[in-house]
């Protein structure tokens, strides 16, 4: 039950971060959004590990946290760019297919979900796919191709991101996220130094961008905690329903109406999560 709660909190946080990032990326360069997010996240996790007063564990498994931090900016950048050029629900759903990588990983290792968990996982994935079909046929062809390519790249990277976090979190989930944030900051600083994009955001953009860092770091930490309580495949599927959260955020905040397909997809996905909880 703890694993499910942490996974749901991670899903909500990451979906909120993706929603904010995709929305702001229409006016602010991706690198500045990521820089503000990661600086915020670094400050937050630094405070947390300091308050915990537990020394840094000298274990090589924490390198997986650093590896996750290296691929995270690329994965998030692809997702945010995809969200900005395509329809949020469609891009989020495609990116969520990265869940198949942890699932295959667990199956290869012989870590099989029970029958209820497996049935719930299938329903959750079906729900996400239903949402992904919403209005896909009404977009410009070139726009769909560009968005799908970015979403697929994000899915692949996020799949391995989940595996790396899972591998490191058994040592210490908090220090894992600290290592992740440090390596992410190094990578994004290097990208800024090379790219040097035009500074276009204003003071009014900053609080929103910083809030993205809060949600993104919260999502990473809750995922790390969840991975110490249950199978990474089951946790990843629960997190993969974030398109439902994005669609709901778009409904409540941007006043975008939910179509029948979206309502159906959200209902099926949430029913799948309920079955996983029961299992």
| Per-residue confidence (pLDDT) for residue 217, from 0 to 100 | 93
The C-alpha atoms of residue 113 and residue 128 are separated, in whole angstroms, by: 20
Length of the chain: 279
Q: What pTM was estimated for this model as a whole?
A: 0.87
Please tell me whether residue 62 adopts helix, strand or coil conformation: helix
| Per-residue confidence (pLDDT) for residue 230, from 0 to 100 | 92
The C-alpha atoms of residue 182 and residue 205 are separated, in whole angstroms, by: 24
DSSP states along 207-222: HHHHHHHHHHHHHHHH
Structural domain containing residue 163: 2-278
In tens, the pLDDT along 151-189 reads 889 889 989 999 999 999 999 999 999 999 999 999 999
In the chain, which residues have pLDDT < 50? none
Count of the separate structural domains present in the chain:
1
| Per-residue confidence (pLDDT) for residue 138, from 0 to 100 | 52
| Per-residue confidence (pLDDT) for residue 225, from 0 to 100 | 96
In tens, the pLDDT along 236-267 reads 999 888 878 888 888 888 888 888 888 898 89
| Per-residue confidence (pLDDT) for residue 227, from 0 to 100 | 94
Residue 150, CB half-sphere, CA atoms under 13 Å: how many? Answer: 24
């Amino acid at each position: 039950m703890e694993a499910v709660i942490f996974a749901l909190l991670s899903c909500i946080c990451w979906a909120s971060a993706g929603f904010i990032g995709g929305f702001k990326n229409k006016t602010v360069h991706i690198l500045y959004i990521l820089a503000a997010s990661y600086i915020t996240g670094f400050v937050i996790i630094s405070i947390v590990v300091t308050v915990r007063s537990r020394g840094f564990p000298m274990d090589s498994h924490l390198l997986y946290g650093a590896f996750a931090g290296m691929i995270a900016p690329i994965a998030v950048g692809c997702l945010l760019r995809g969200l900005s050029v395509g329809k949020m629900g469609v891009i989020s759903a495609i990116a969520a297919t990265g869940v198949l990588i942890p699932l295959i990983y667990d199956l290869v290792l012989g870590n099989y979900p029970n029958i209820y968990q497996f049935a719930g996982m299938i329903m959750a994935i079906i729900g996400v796919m239903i949402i992904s079909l919403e209005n896909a046929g009404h977009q410009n062809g070139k726009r769909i191709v560009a968005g799908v390519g970015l979403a697929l790249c994000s899915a692949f990277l996020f799949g391995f991101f989940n595996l790396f976090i899972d591998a490191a979190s058994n040592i210490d989930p908090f220090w894992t996220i600290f290592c992740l944030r440090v390596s992410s900051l190094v990578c994004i600083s290097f990208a800024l130094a090379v790219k040097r994009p035009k500074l276009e955001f204003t003071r009014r953009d900053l609080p929103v961008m910083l809030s993205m860092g809060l949600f993104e770091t919260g999502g990473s930490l809750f995922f790390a905690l969840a991975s110490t309580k249950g199978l990474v495949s089951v946790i990843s599927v629960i997190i993969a329903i974030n398109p439902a959260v994005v669609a709901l955020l778009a409904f409540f905040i941007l006043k975008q109406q939910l179509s029948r397909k979206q309502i159906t997809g959200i209902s099926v996905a949430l029913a799948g999560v309920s079955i996983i909880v029961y299992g």
